[in-house]
Structure 1
Amino acid sequence: MRTLLALLLVVSPGPSLDPDQPSASGRAVLETGHVDIGPRVRAGEWTIQIHDDHAAPSVWREPADTVLRVLDTAELVVPDDENYAFLGAAAGSTVHVVPQTERPGVVWIGWNTQDPGVLATAGRGITMTLRGVQGPGPVTVFLQSGNLGAPQVLWSSARPVPQPLWVERNTHTHANWVFGAPGVYLLAVGVTAELPDGSTAATDTVLRFAVGDATDPAAAFGAAYSVPSPSASVSPPLSGTGYAFPLGAIGVVAAVLTIGGVLLQQRRTRRRAEESR
């Protein structure tokens, strides 16, 4: 069994998406390949959709008609390291992890702000906010800046909501999504953006996850989100309030998913670095 130690954020500034990419109709279960969550603007209307890059050609899908299925191929063991206590899972236990770098047989979930309508409408960027989590276990989305850096939690079901995350325009990002138990999860998320005229655009949706081979995606389609969540009118943290991580300023870096034994090497590397200061 592999050990969870996903170390580096993947952030990719790049060209915007094709403005003519179609919107798919009908239900879809996405269990492998690259997908991104992101805002989309059409005729002045803001929505949150799922960009399915695994389809050929790529399409946008409605979250209500999409289940992100995290199979047992995503199972990893929680390391015996206090730096990962925030996961809320005991060392040696098994969790399902969608990692920062693509793994065969695991859906690769990220988010982007590359829709041409967003680029034409938003200012410096948007705020993605976790508004609530409904599911059988804890959910954590986190990143690390390097081998010597501590994990940085972006979203956690163990913390009060809302949890705003600032995302610069025209960026494409992957981090680590950790689910503490198999089952159906619903994540209420929102997007807000300050527009050039000083007004604020806001939209919300619910993301549907089926975690574990034994979890029927049909149960995720049929689940109703019932956890009270704050209003979408929460102002974005443009002046540094909330969690404002300058995602677009980092550039592209590699992510690492290690196996057992590397944890000890990481500690030795950290110790040598501290002694050389």
Structure 2
Amino acid sequence: MTVVLLALLGPASAASAAQPAPPDPALDQSIAPDQPVAAGPAVLSAGHVDLGPRYVDGEWTLLVHDDAAEPVWRDPDQTVLRVTDAAIQTVPDDPAYEFLGVAPGTRVHVVPQVQHDDVVWVGWNTQDPRVMRTIDRGVTLELAGVDGPGTVTMYVQAGTFNAPQVLWRSAEPPGQPMWVEVNTHTHANWVFTEPGVYLVAVRVGADLISGERMSAVRHLRFAVGDATSTEAALAAQPGSVEPAASPAAADAGGDGPAEGSRQWLPLGLAATAAGLAVALAVVVLRGRAARRRAERERAAGAAE
């Protein structure tokens, strides 16, 4: 796909491709109020997935919005996000990526900021209609903890010459709050340094227009690597995932990347990220516009 080709064309082509582009149409979505919550376990290995707040039976929580086929919400405890070996990339020899905490040449699994047809595409949204009506301006997402064999890092990058912006690092203490405005839909890069089962605990908190404060913690279940059991990921409990050796001791890639692995981390993501920079700005503006509309509607309702 285009992302791979940009990496192979070299810096000059990548810089040219990084000129402003139309927003990614995949980020333009709305969520119907009656979308159901699917029952039973599911394994999602490709397609569009968002984490988002929603009310279930009147209770504030976090669910997985699965838009790969017929849009549904899913219980994170019943959903495995399978990151196959199609997601393998090689850490570049570039100081800008030292925040990943592994040596250049190391092979890692990356859920990309830009959609890749063969890799599950994980983002977040605050677009459930009831959530949009009830929250005051937005929500806070925090990394509440990670159980897994390696480290997890989430970052965004806008443009070839812009430095990566780190959002979450499991190597740092839990917390790392991230503000998300109402009616936002965003994707980022998720980097896993080792294959295996990961439980990524996410806390969502929000002030409601009623004055209440809502909070919930749920675990995203990742099965990273083709050899990782999705059954093990489904059955895993916080604290039960066996850690492996420190990722700093991982092979620095002397054997080179495996055949078929992706090598577009430094250029592919950055070169296509210019369009995402525009898209993210549009998302923020849409969020603010939606908030203003909601405030006008509340004011009109109070006047009546």
User: What is the TM-score with the length of structure 2 in the denominator?
Assistant: 0.71
- Distance (whole Å) between structure 1 residues aligned to residue 178 and residue 81 of structure 2: 21
Displacement after TM superposition at 1:190 (Å): 0.8
Q: In 2, are the aligned partners of 1:209 and 1:220 still within 8 Å (CA)?
A: yes
Aligned residues: 233
Give the CA deviation at 1:16: 3.6
Q: How far off is 1:105 after superposition? A: 1.1
Residue among 206, 218, 221 paired with 1:208: 221
Q: How does 1:93-242 map to 2 (within 5 A)?
A: 93-226=106-239
Q: What letter matches 2:84 in structure 1?
A: L
CA distance 1:260–1:191, change in 2 (3 Å): closer
1:21 and 1:58 in contact (8 A); partners too: yes
Q: Which has the larger radius of gyration?
A: 2
Contact between 2:89 and 2:265, CA under 8 Å: does it hold in 1?
Answer: no
User: How well do the aligned residues superpose, as a CA RMSD in angstroms?
Assistant: 2.8
Q: Which residue of 2 aligns with 1:33?
A: 47
Q: In structure 2, the residue corresponding to 1:142 is in which secondary structure? A: strand
Q: Deviations over 1:235-267 (max 9, x none)?
A: xxxxxxxxxxxxxxxxxxxxxx9748959x99x
In 2, Cα distance between equivalents of 1:22 and 1:146: 37
Q: Which residue is 2:61 aligned to?
A: 47
Q: Hey, what does 1:244 align to over in structure 2?
A: none
Q: Match of 2:178, SS?
A: strand
Long gaps (5+) in structure 2: 241-261, 272-304
1:174 and 1:52 map into 2 onto residues whose CA distance is 14
Separation of aligned partners in 2, 1:130 and 1:10: 26
* Alignment partner, residue 31 of structure 2: 17
DSSP 3-state at the match of 1:73: helix
1:77-124 C-alpha deviation (Å, 9 max, x unpaired): 000001100101110110000001111210011110000111011011
* Residue aligning to 2:96: 83
Deviating more after overlay: 125-134 vs 5-14? 5-14
User: Residues 244-255 of structure 1 correspond to what in structure 2 (within 5 A)?
Assistant: none
Letter of the 1:71 partner, please give it.
Answer: T
Residues 149 and 198, structure 2, Cα contact 8 Å, conserved in 1 = yes
Would you say the 8 A contact 2:91–2:265 is kept in 1? no
Q: Please list every run of 5 or more consecutive structure 1 residues that lacks an aligned counterpart in the other structure.
A: 228-256, 267-277
Amino acid at match of 2:62: I
State the match for 2:72 in structure 1: 59
Cα distance, 1:121–1:86 mapped onto 2, change above 3 Å: same
Deviation at residue 155 of structure 1 after TM alignment: 0.4
User: Secondary structure of the equivalent of 1:128?
Assistant: strand
- Could you tell me how far apart the structure 1 residues matched to 2:225 and 2:194 are? 8
- AA aligned to 1:149 is N
Cα deviation per residue 1:30-50 (whole Å; 9 max; x = unaligned)?
Answer: 001111011002454211000
